[in-house]
Amino acid sequence: MKDPYRIFFPLGLLSAFIGVLSWVPFALGYTQNYPGTEHPHLMIGGFLYVFALGFLMTAIPRFTETAPARFWELLCQAGIILLMISTGTASLLSPQWREPSLLLQIVSLVFLVLFCVPRFLSKKRRPPPSFLFIGVGILCGLAGSILLYLDERGSLSTELGLMGRSLFYHGMMLSFVIGVGSRLVPVLLGHEANPMNPDVSLRGSSNRSILLGLAVAYFLSFPVELFIAQEAGRIVRAVVLLFVSIRFWKIVVTPVRRGALPRWLRVSGIMLLIGQWCFALFPGYAVHGVHLTFAGGYSLLTLLIATRVVLSHGGYDLSFELNSRWLQVIGALVAGSAIARFLAPLAPTSYLHHLAYASFGWSLGVGVWAILFLPRMWRRLK
């Protein structure tokens, strides 16, 4: 199948709605079940990871000029993801379902490795140098999910449990964003040509050694964070992101393309940077910086890249991503909700209510995206 995103993007949306709305009953006092473990797993291991999975299984065969996803690969991965979301949802009611959900996460990542490695080994076209970070992201996700599973079983020290959380929740998605974003963000902002243009990849090869050094520093930042100095490890990752966003994404340069998608793409990159630096420099405010990173940075970036995937692969007019008022609404809702969540501690007397409002606003923005693009995923024009 040439377009796995048609299966995985809807599954990612399902996990997103379950994960974010799980906070609302608790925040409004209707339940005492605190979703502190299930919420990040459904959002990161579900929504963000599943969208990344749909993109990677669609794009890697095209970038490497190898076989598209086979039916059995798609069927196995989709089945694993559906079971993972189901058990993750069940764990909101009973913690006994956490272990199966984490185990399924490991299995999904192993299948992703089995999907990617043969295609990179038999490639007919050299993929962009930044795709090195996709490998780092898979490594972070796999190592982190294994450690989380063992920690849930009570088989790990506190330190290794923390390492698992850091690798999975903070290492995997940022790696994917750097790897994919360094190729697509400058294209969507109008600074570079079509990402499939081979000349672009050749020009990018001069940056291969730089990206290798960044990837090594990035991966080593996790043991540094845990065993040497927490702030040092986080600052290393923030510096890597800052360097990538300036040099490769060109986030500080005014976009050549003007319109809804480039505007909000730049906003998402800025929120991602602010969130990462807040997480690194202000430990007391770190959890709120993380929410700006995830709710505003990763989420909005994911939806905007998914917008391009749906439009381009479906044969739609790409001017839609520039002229659509609905994309403006989506950007405003998601970014506004992320900022509201980031600033919630400034209103301590109504803190939990602000979390509920932010969750509702974010869900509304993602819901509008789903209404706008789900029909386009399933209706092919080409």
Q: Which of 256, 290, 320 is the last residue of a domain?
A: 256
CA dihedral 137, 139, 140, 145 (to 10 degrees): 120
Q: Which of 125, 158, 186 is the last residue of a domain?
A: 125
> Is 261 a member of any domain?
no
> What are the b/e assignments for 156-169, b being 16+ CB within 10 Å?
beeeebbbbebbbb
Same domain membership, residue 164 and residue 118: no
Same domain membership, residue 239 and residue 188: yes
Q: How far apart are CA 263 and CA 328, in angstroms?
A: 9
Same domain membership, residue 119 and residue 1: yes
- Cα of first residue to Cα of last residue in the chain, in angstroms, is 15
When pLDDT is cut at 50, 70 and 90, the band that residue 28 belongs to is low
Average pLDDT of the segment spanning 29-58: 85
pTM of the full structure: 0.92
CA dihedral 355, 356, 357, 362 (to 10 degrees): 90
Same domain membership, residue 156 and residue 104: no
Number of domains in the chain: 3
| Chain length of the chain | 382
Same domain membership, residue 111 and residue 64: yes
Same domain membership, residue 292 and residue 206: no
pLDDT in tens, 336-363: 999 998 988 888 887 877 777 888 899 9
Q: Which of 229, 256, 283 is the last residue of a domain?
A: 256
Same domain membership, residue 380 and residue 310: yes
> Is 266 a member of any domain?
no
Same domain membership, residue 132 and residue 207: yes
Is the pLDDT at 380 greater than 70, yes or no? no
> Is 263 a member of any domain?
no
Same domain membership, residue 225 and residue 182: yes
Q: How far apart are CA 3 and CA 379, in angstroms?
A: 12
> Is 364 a member of any domain?
yes
Same domain membership, residue 210 and residue 299: no
Write out the residue range of the structural domain in which residue 303 sits.
274-382
Average pLDDT of the segment spanning 13-33: 75
Same domain membership, residue 104 and residue 203: no
Q: What is the CA radius of gyration of the chain?
A: 20
> Is 375 a member of any domain?
yes
> Is 267 a member of any domain?
no
pLDDT in tens, 61-119: 999 999 999 999 999 999 999 999 999 988 888 888 989 999 999 999 999 999 999 99
pLDDT in tens, 204-263: 556 788 999 999 999 999 999 988 999 999 999 999 999 999 999 999 999 999 999 999
pLDDT score for 159: 85
Same domain membership, residue 310 and residue 246: no
> What are the b/e assignments for 350-368, b being 16+ CB within 10 Å?
eeeebbbbbbbbbbebbeb
